[in-house]
Amino acid sequence: MTGNVEINIDGKALTLPTLVGSEGEIGIDITSLRNQTGCITIDPAYGNTGSCESSITFIDGETGILRYRGYDIAELAGKSTFVETAYLLIYGELPTRPQLAEFSELLTENQMLHEGMRFHFESFPPTAHPMAILSAMINAASSYHPNIINKREERFPYHAARLISQVRTIAAFSHRKAKGLPAIYPKTNLKYTANFLHMMFSHPGEDLELQPEIVKALDLIFLLHADHEQNCSTSTVRMVASSRANLFASASAGVCALWGPLHGGANQAVLEMLKEIHDEGDDGSKFLAQVKAKVGNRRLMGFGHRVYKNFDPRAVIIKQQCDKVLAQLHKSDPLLDIAKKLEEIALNDDYFVSRKLYPNVDFYSGIIMRAIGIPLDMFTVMFAIGRMPGWIANYKEVMEDPDSRIARPRQIYTGPTLRTYQPIEQRQ
């Protein structure tokens, strides 16, 4: 469904077409604006700009809706798995049993890294951040598979499976490298998330005892983060893909964008806040009072969301799993106690409720990951593993769009006008 809208620029009427999405959202198509008027739009941070049409993910932030390919996130969280959801995002439909088996087999076949990549890991200093390693090693992995560089599209299912599978292997190896531990190789008899935990925490000759609730909780974290519409990192992947860069290079760029503390680092910021509260000998009550009074530039991390104006639907889902994990582990952890206190106060205090500052997915995912032993500097890496299917789906959408053009934003220049070069001895 399309329509038109009229705008007036310097007394000249201009008719622009509108596009209406399948959920009723309306976009004004300004493709011809500059050619017809010489004007461009200005929208810092692109908060009001649609960069593409996409059939992957739908978000309604006003009512707290998140759907992958039309499926409600709560239904997928309760009935699906990360691997099945990854297939859904990339290929558009839930897989049949044979399709899921084939996809799972591709993941297993491609989970090993080329042995030559061990030398790349050894070149990083012990202080290297896991996200730096992850970004670099994703690019390095593509070097061992020339078909990726050559963009042979018929090989896309293999490249997609290879990337989803190897990103967890790279992540686990980078963690063990930082800790000075020997690498643990993946097992063919373990499923995706269980295999990742095995590579993270097993020791040579002593496999990790995998607890179903722990595996389920981490799988749920991956699933809930699998895509989230046109966020910073996904938009980065699409922009790099628009140049026809290969899949691994585009995903590596997504990792770099995700690394920022305003994006993928949000769950890490939650734990840093909890540690700060604990170091001050507070149970969270004093901290929240200071937040309300706007004392000392206190910031409540993990509450509220830029997109969701009501509540984060992912938080409602993950809270239940968080409670199960904490109950099973019987862990005594002062930071987790503080987190519970913050949650209790914020959910019952009108100051936070009236402002709709509810705990978001980052709050609960950070608590779960700390409880199961994921190091703080690996939190954003967990986000990257989960987000990989969404990045791949968006990459695929760009590549399959016959009207796709290289992304090239405009600007309003505010610098000096024409100046004359002055010899250095005449400059003041």
Residue 10 belongs to domain with CATH number = 2.20.28.60
Is residue 425 one of the residues assigned to a domain? no
Question: Do 191 and 339 belong to one domain?
Answer: no
- Read off the CATH number of the domain in which 298 is found: 1.10.230.10
Q: Give every CB contact of residue 366 below 8 A, 6+ residues apart in sequence.
A: 267, 268, 270, 271, 302, 379
| Range of the structural domain that residue 275 is part of | 266-371
Is residue 258 a contact partner of residue 391, using CB atoms and an 8 Å limit? Answer: no
CA nearest neighbour of 301 among 346, 256, 350: 346
**What is the distance between the alpha carbons of residues 239 and 46, in angstroms, rounded to a whole number?**
13
The residue out of 42, 65, 88 marking a domain boundary is 65
Q: For the chain, how many structural domains are there in total? A: 3
**What is the distance between the alpha carbons of residues 13 and 3, in angstroms, rounded to a whole number?**
16
Region label for 335, one of left (φ > 0), alpha (ψ between -120 and 50) or beta (otherwise): alpha
**What is the distance between the alpha carbons of residues 253 and 239, in angstroms, rounded to a whole number?**
10
- Read off the CATH number of the domain in which 182 is found: 1.10.580.10
Residue 152: the pLDDT is 53
Q: Which amino acid is at 329?
A: L
Say what the pTM is: 0.93
**What is the distance between the alpha carbons of residues 60 and 145, in angstroms, rounded to a whole number?**
40
Is residue 106 a contact partner of residue 161, using CB atoms and an 8 Å limit? Answer: yes
**What is the distance between the alpha carbons of residues 397 and 269, in angstroms, rounded to a whole number?**
32
**What is the distance between the alpha carbons of residues 272 and 376, in angstroms, rounded to a whole number?**
9
Question: Do 35 and 101 belong to one domain?
Answer: no
Is residue 220 a contact partner of residue 318, using CB atoms and an 8 Å limit? Answer: yes
Is residue 421 one of the residues assigned to a domain? no
Question: Do 241 and 278 belong to one domain?
Answer: no
**What is the distance between the alpha carbons of residues 357 and 34, in angstroms, rounded to a whole number?**
40
**Buried residues in 368-384 as b, exposed as e (16+ CB within 10 A):** bbbbbebeeebbbbbbb
- 120-128 long-range contacts (CB < 8 A, ≥24 apart) are 121/173, 121/174, 121/177, 121/183, 122/177, 124/174, 124/177, 126/177, 126/178, 126/180, 128/174, 128/177, 128/178
Question: Do 254 and 274 belong to one domain?
Answer: no
Helix (H, G, I), strand (E, B) or coil at 65: strand
Classify residue 246 as exposed, middle or buried by CB count within 10 Å of its CB (0-12, 13-18, 19+): buried
Question: Do 247 and 293 belong to one domain?
Answer: no
Residue 311: the pLDDT is 82
The residue out of 49, 65, 81 marking a domain boundary is 65
Helix (H, G, I), strand (E, B) or coil at 52: coil
Is residue 178 one of the residues assigned to a domain? yes
The residue out of 371, 390, 422 marking a domain boundary is 371
Q: Tokens 């593409």 label which residue?
A: 52
Helix axes 192-201, 82-91, angle to 10 degrees: 120
Question: Do 33 and 124 belong to one domain?
Answer: no
Count other C-beta atoms under 10 Å from residue 112's C-beta: 14
Residues forming beta bridges with residue 272, ordered by sequence position:
none
Question: Do 118 and 55 belong to one domain?
Answer: no
pLDDT per 10-residue tile (average), the chain, 428 residues: 80 88 91 88 90 95 94 97 98 98 96 91 89 95 78 78 97 90 94 97 93 95 97 97 95 96 86 93 93 87 86 89 86 83 90 88 90 93 97 97 94 96 94
Element (H, E) at 28: strand 26-28
Question: Do 102 and 217 belong to one domain?
Answer: yes
Residue 151: the pLDDT is 55
Question: Do 109 and 219 belong to one domain?
Answer: yes
Backbone angles phi, psi at 298, to 5 degrees: -65, 135
Question: Do 14 and 148 belong to one domain?
Answer: no
- Marked catalytic residue, from 145, 227, 305, 312: 305
Is residue 422 one of the residues assigned to a domain? no
Q: Give every CB contact of residue 220 below 8 A, 6+ residues apart in sequence.
A: 77, 82, 317, 318, 321
- Marked catalytic residue, from 362, 377, 401, 403: 362
Q: Which amino acid is at 196?
A: F
Residue 153: the pLDDT is 58
Question: Do 217 and 305 belong to one domain?
Answer: no
Active site residue 145: no
Is residue 417 one of the residues assigned to a domain? no
Is residue 408 one of the residues assigned to a domain? no
Is residue 129 one of the residues assigned to a domain? yes
Active site residue 305: yes
Is residue 203 one of the residues assigned to a domain? yes
Question: Do 76 and 178 belong to one domain?
Answer: yes
Count other C-beta atoms under 10 Å from residue 52's C-beta: 14
Q: Could you give the maximum distance between any two Cα atoms of the chain, in Å?
A: 79
Which tokens hold the place of 276? 């700060």
